[in-house]
């Protein structure tokens, strides 16, 4: 055993309450528990996923922060010391899961939303119609009409758009990163709630083709499971260039996770590593990107193409290139976005926040007069309907949620996704664990979440005195900053509170 790694948590069993039913042994996927006359926990292995706590019928288990104290040092918090110890032990790149957990300022929490008082009436969304419907995709520069048989008709065919009943979509997470049951939950919920989910780069399982009208299929650098039928299965195709949790980094799905179902869906042999190169090797320029966008359009009868990028320093210039390359949707993933596995140092230190990136991109596209040519989806740190409302006011057409969707399906944010041991059956491929997630239950929880957010967004809109989410889009005048410096406010295009 590695004696230099102190346990993060301490598991305590109330032996008086414990009836020795051994449910905790069965629920723990990290091997914490053993049994010899009584339940014996090995705190070293605990990740605080809380599965055992939830499953214990006697409420006999509590998980605490480890009381072991190391001498404090502000430059060397225990988390950083542990990283050094781990690397000294293994010589490996540190891995982690979920989004950036460093204490960077959260700009959303420094933005407040306006409301109507006295002079212009607010609207009660419970009694009056309130429109959340959103269309993602290219909008024409102008509409030309002609009279056909005495009736006005559009002269040109409108570009295909994705119709959403709520401006919140499920972020792309691959079958491989998450389980098939998690994918099914997302697909069923997307259908029920009138939104879409993304396949991520893992192909589309044959059982999910029926959910095509609520699916965005992805084409990433590894091209796993990408073929003509797949590209045509959804309502749009997403080219994944980058991910907020690991900008500029490819992906390695280890061979251990490539079982029969994943193999069939990704179309690679069982047990081989699925390596997604860092770049698409057919995209080295905006012109190359345009080529892939149009190859996909030609192969799909001109379905909308979304291009997903991680938010990095020059995001505005990159986004305008993407729009000029012909993308119908620009998907911006901020540096707080989640991941099934990423090198810790990259996740925690590369990329910029979604709030700033979104404002910069929306500004640039407006300045260049091409904002109508593509929709913007904001992702990477959307935690609530309030975040979504603020993102929309900053310029997003819709938001994408990944972590929030996982939480809805039971995730407790233990950040051990990369181990493949997810006790909640979400981020794992082990059959004994994946069966823990019932897709019907998962879908119900996701629908509940979207229903609640939908009501809340309507409340925000009502308070703002508008009856459509369209009226809030890009309306930064309805936001104010609290405790933000002048330059940040300038980038956000938001006034300080009180002005």
Partner 1 sequence: MTINAKDVYYRDLNERVREEIKKGAADVVLDNVNGQRYIADGLRGKATITINGVPGNDLAAFMDGPTLIVNGNAQDGVANTMNDGKIIINGNAGDVLGYGMRGGKLYIKGDVGYRVGIHMKGFKSQVPVIIAGGTAGDFFGEYMAGGILVLLGIGKKKNEPIAGGYLGTGMHGGVMYVRGEVDPRDCGAEVGILEPNEEEMAELSAYLKEYCKDTGHDYGRIMKEKFIKIYPKSSRPYGRLYAY
481/489 Cα distance (integer angstroms)? 7
| Residue of 164, 159, 167, 143 whose CA lies nearest to 471 | 167
257/15 Cα distance (integer angstroms)? 37
Based on the shown chain and the rule CB under 8 A, indicate whether residue 4 belongs to the binding site for partner 1.
Answer: no
Based on the shown chain and the rule CB under 8 A, indicate whether residue 53 belongs to the binding site for partner 1.
Answer: no
Query: Bridge partners of 340?
Result: none
Chain position carrying tokens 């996923």 = 49
Chain position carrying tokens 């979604």 = 354
Based on the shown chain and the rule CB under 8 A, indicate whether residue 226 belongs to the binding site for partner 1.
Answer: yes
| Residue of 352, 365, 384, 388 whose CA lies nearest to 461 | 388
Instruction: Kindly tell me the sign of the dihedral angle through the C-alpha atoms of 147, 152, 156, 157.
Output: negative
The nearer residue to partner 1, 264 or 383, going by C-beta atoms, is 264
Based on the shown chain and the rule CB under 8 A, indicate whether residue 87 belongs to the binding site for partner 1.
Answer: yes
Based on the shown chain and the rule CB under 8 A, indicate whether residue 429 belongs to the binding site for partner 1.
Answer: no
Based on the shown chain and the rule CB under 8 A, indicate whether residue 9 belongs to the binding site for partner 1.
Answer: no
Based on the shown chain and the rule CB under 8 A, indicate whether residue 295 belongs to the binding site for partner 1.
Answer: yes
Interface stretch with partner 1, choices 87-95, 109-117, 325-333, 464-472 (CB under 8 A): 87-95
Q: How far is the CB of 212 from partner 1 (least distance, A)?
A: 16
The nearer residue to partner 1, 66 or 419, going by C-beta atoms, is 419
Interface stretch with partner 1, choices 84-92, 119-127, 185-193, 330-338 (CB under 8 A): 84-92
DSSP at 496: E
Q: Is 465 exposed, middle or buried (0-12, 13-18, 19+ CB in 10 A)?
A: middle
DSSP at 427: S
Q: Which two tokens stand for residue 450?
A: 């979207």
Query: Bridge partners of 175?
Result: 178
Based on the shown chain and the rule CB under 8 A, indicate whether residue 7 belongs to the binding site for partner 1.
Answer: no
Please work out, in degrees rounded to the nearest 5, the angle formed at the alpha carbon of residue 490 by the alpha carbons of 484 and 493: 100
284 Cβ contact list (under 8 Å, min separation 6): none
Q: Which two tokens stand for residue 350?
A: 């590369």
Q: How far is the CB of 496 from partner 1 (least distance, A)?
A: 45
Based on the shown chain and the rule CB under 8 A, indicate whether residue 89 belongs to the binding site for partner 1.
Answer: yes
Based on the shown chain and the rule CB under 8 A, indicate whether residue 299 belongs to the binding site for partner 1.
Answer: yes
Q: How far is the CB of 51 from partner 1 (least distance, A)?
A: 19
The bridge status of strand 38-41 relative to strand 33-36 is antiparallel
Based on the shown chain and the rule CB under 8 A, indicate whether residue 219 belongs to the binding site for partner 1.
Answer: yes
Based on the shown chain and the rule CB under 8 A, indicate whether residue 50 belongs to the binding site for partner 1.
Answer: no
Q: How far is the CB of 115 from partner 1 (least distance, A)?
A: 49
What is the footprint of partner 1 within residues 430-469 (CB under 8 A)? none
The nearer residue to partner 1, 159 or 255, going by C-beta atoms, is 255
The nearer residue to partner 1, 62 or 90, going by C-beta atoms, is 90
Based on the shown chain and the rule CB under 8 A, indicate whether residue 90 belongs to the binding site for partner 1.
Answer: yes
The nearer residue to partner 1, 215 or 385, going by C-beta atoms, is 215
Q: Is 116 exposed, middle or buried (0-12, 13-18, 19+ CB in 10 A)?
A: middle
The nearer residue to partner 1, 376 or 422, going by C-beta atoms, is 422
Q: How far is the CB of 292 from partner 1 (least distance, A)?
A: 8
What is the footprint of partner 1 within residues 156-195 (CB under 8 A)? none
The nearer residue to partner 1, 160 or 232, going by C-beta atoms, is 232
Q: How far is the CB of 295 from partner 1 (least distance, A)?
A: 4
The bridge status of strand 151-154 relative to strand 145-148 is antiparallel
Q: Identify the residue among 5, 40, 80, 93 touching partner 1 (CB under 8 A).
A: 93
Q: How far is the CB of 66 from partner 1 (least distance, A)?
A: 20
Q: Identify the residue among 272, 345, 367, 448 touching partner 1 (CB under 8 A).
A: 272
x/- mask, partner 1, residues 228-257, rule CB under 8 A, reads: xx-xx-------------------x-xx--
Based on the shown chain and the rule CB under 8 A, indicate whether residue 94 belongs to the binding site for partner 1.
Answer: yes
Q: How far is the CB of 218 from partner 1 (least distance, A)?
A: 13
Give the number of C-alpha atoms closer than 13 A to the C-alpha of residue 342, restricted to the C-beta side: 28
Give the number of C-alpha atoms closer than 13 A to the C-alpha of residue 308, restricted to the C-beta side: 32
The total of other beta-carbon atoms located within 10 Å of residue 21's CB is: 14
The nearer residue to partner 1, 63 or 253, going by C-beta atoms, is 253
Q: Identify the residue among 180, 187, 216, 268 touching partner 1 (CB under 8 A).
A: 268
If DSSP states are collapsed to H, E and C, what string results for 351-408? CCCHHHHHHHHHHHHHHCCCHHHCEEEEECCCCCHHHHHHHHHHCCCEEEECHHHHHH
Q: How far is the CB of 223 from partner 1 (least distance, A)?
A: 3
Alpha-helical segments (H) within 233-353: 260-266, 286-300, 315-324, 344-349
Q: Which residues in this chain contact partner 1 in the complex, by CB under 8 A?
A: 86-87, 89-95, 219, 221-223, 226-229, 231-232, 252, 254-255, 267-269, 271-273, 275, 277, 281-282, 291-292, 294-296, 298-300, 418-419
């Amino acid at each position: 055993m590695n004696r230099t790694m102190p346990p993060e948590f301490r598991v305590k069993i109330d032996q008086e309450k414990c009836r020795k039913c051994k449910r905790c042994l069965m629920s723990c996927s990290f091997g914490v528990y053993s049994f010899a006359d009584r339940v014996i926990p090995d705190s070293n292995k605990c990740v605080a996923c809380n599965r055992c706590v939830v499953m214990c019928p006697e409420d006999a288990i509590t998980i605490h922060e480890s009381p072991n104290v190391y001498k404090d040092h502000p430059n060397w918090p225990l988390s950083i010391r542990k990283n050094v110890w781990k690397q000294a032990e293994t010589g490996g790149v540190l891995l982690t899961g979920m989004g950036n957990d460093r204490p960077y300022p959260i700009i959303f929490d420094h933005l407040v939303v306006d409301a109507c008082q006295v002079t212009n009436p607010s609207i009660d969304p419970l009694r009056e119609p309130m429109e959340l419907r959103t269309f993602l995709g290219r909008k024409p520069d102008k509409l030309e009409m002609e009279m056909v048989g005495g009736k006005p008709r559009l002269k040109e065919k409108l570009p295909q758009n994705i119709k959403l009943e709520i401006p919140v979509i499920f972020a792309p997470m691959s079958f491989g990163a998450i389980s098939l049951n998690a994918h099914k939950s997302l697909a069923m919920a997307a259908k029920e709630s009138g939104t879409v989910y993304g396949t991520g780069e893992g192909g589309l399982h044959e059982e999910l083709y029926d959910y095509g009208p609520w699916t965005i299929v992805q084409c990433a650098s590894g091209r796993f499971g990408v073929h003509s039928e797949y590209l045509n299965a959804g309502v749009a195709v997403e080219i994944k260039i980058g991910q907020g949790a690991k900008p500029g980094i490819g992906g390695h799905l280890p061979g251990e996770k490539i079982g029969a179902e994943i193999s069939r869906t990704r179309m690679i042999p069982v047990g081989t590593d699925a390596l997604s190169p860092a770049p698409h090797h057919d995209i080295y320029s905006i012109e190359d990107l345009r080529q892939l966008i149009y190859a996909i359009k030609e192969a799909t009868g001109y379905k909308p193409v979304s291009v997903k990028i991680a938010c990095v320093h020059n995001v505005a210039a990159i986004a305008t290139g993407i729009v000029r390359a012909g993308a119908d949707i620009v998907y911006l993933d901020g540096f707080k976005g989640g991941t099934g596995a990423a090198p810790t140092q990259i996740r925690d230190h590369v990329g910029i926040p979604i709030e700033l990136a979104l404002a910069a991109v929306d500004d640039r596209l407006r300045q260049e007069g091409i904002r109508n040519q593509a929709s913007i989806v904001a992702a990477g740190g959307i935690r609530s309907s309030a975040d979504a409302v603020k993102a929309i006011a900053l310029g997003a057409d819709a938001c994408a949620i990944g972590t929030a969707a996982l939480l809805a399906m039971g995730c407790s944010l233990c950040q051990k996704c990369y181990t493949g041991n997810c006790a909640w059956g979400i981020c794992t491929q082990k059959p004994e664990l994946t069966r823990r997630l019932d897709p019907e239950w998962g879908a119900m929880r996701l629908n509940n979440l979207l229903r609640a957010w939908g009501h809340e967004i309507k409340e925000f809109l009502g308070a703002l005195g508008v009856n459509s989410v369209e009226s809030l889009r890009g309306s930064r005048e309805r936001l104010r900053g609290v405790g933000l410096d002048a330059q940040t406010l300038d980038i956000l295009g938001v006034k300080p509170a009180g002005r």
